Amino acid sequence: MTIFCSLYIALTHCPVTNKNGEIIASAVTNLDLHDIARTGKTYGVAAFYVITPLTDQKDLAEKIVLHWTQGAGGVYNPARRDALELVKISDSIESAMSDIEKREGKRPCLVATTAEKGRSTLGFEGLREKLADGAPCLLLFGTAWGMANEVFEKADHVLPPIDGAGDYNHLSVRCASAIILDRLAGPNHTG
Amino acid sequence: MTIFCSLYIALTHCPVTNKNGEIIASAVTNLDLHDIARTGKTYGVAAFYVITPLTDQKDLAEKIVLHWTQGAGGVYNPARRDALELVKISDSIESAMSDIEKREGKRPCLVATTAEKGRSTLGFEGLREKLADGAPCLLLFGTAWGMANEVFEKADHVLPPIDGAGDYNHLSVRCASAIILDRLAGPNHTG
| Interface A:B, Cβ pairs < 8 A | 134
Mutate to test the interface with B, among A188, A189, A190 (most CBs of B within 10 A): A188
pLDDT band with cut points at 50, 70 and 90 for residue A166: confident
- What structural domains does chain B harbor? 7-185 (3.40.1280.10)
Mean pLDDT of A24-43: 98
How far A30 CA sits from the closest chain B CA (Å)? Answer: 12
Q: What are the chain B neighbours of A34 within 8 Å (beta carbons)?
A: 172
Tell me whether residues A172 and B34 touch, CB distance under 8 A.
yes
pLDDT band with cut points at 50, 70 and 90 for residue A87: very high
Tell me whether residues B182 and A187 touch, CB distance under 8 A.
no
User: Considering only CA atoms, which of A184, A178, A156 is closest in space to residue A6?
Assistant: A184
pLDDT band with cut points at 50, 70 and 90 for residue B124: very high
Mean pLDDT of B92-113: 97
**pLDDT of residue A191 exceeding 80:** no
pLDDT band with cut points at 50, 70 and 90 for residue B5: confident
B44 to chain A: closest CA residue: A165
Distance CA A37, CA B171 (A): 9
pLDDT band with cut points at 50, 70 and 90 for residue B1: low
Give the rounded percent of residues in chain B with a pLDDT score beyond 70: 96
How far B160 CA sits from the closest chain A CA (Å)? Answer: 13
User: Considering only CA atoms, which of B173, B179, B96 is closest in space to residue B138?
Assistant: B96
What residues does B47 pair with on adjacent strands? B8
Q: What are the chain B neighbours of A169 within 8 Å (beta carbons)?
A: 42
- Predicted pLDDT at B166: 86
Q: What are the chain B neighbours of A124 within 8 Å (beta carbons)?
A: 188
- Predicted pLDDT at A35: 98
SS3 string of chain B?
CCCCCCEEEEEECCCEECCCCCEECCCCCHHHHHHHHHHHHHCCCCEEEEECCCHHHHHHHHHHHHHHHCCHHHHHCHHHHHHHCCEEEECCHHHHHHHHHHHHCCCCEEEECCCCCCCCCCCHHHHHHHHHCCCCEEEEEECCCCECHHHHHHCCEECCCCCCCCCCCCCCHHHHHHHHHHHHHCCCCCC
- Predicted pLDDT at A3: 67
**pLDDT of residue A54 exceeding 60:** yes
**pLDDT of residue A157 exceeding 60:** yes
**pLDDT of residue B112 exceeding 60:** yes
- Convert the pLDDT of each residue in B143-174 to its tens digit: 999 999 999 999 999 999 999 988 999 999 99
Of B164, B174, B188, the CB nearest to A43: B164
**pLDDT of residue A190 exceeding 50:** no
Return the minimum-mean-pLDDT range out of A3-17, A135-149, B46-60.
A3-17
How far A181 CA sits from the closest chain B CA (Å)? Answer: 9
Distance CA B144, CA A61 (A): 24
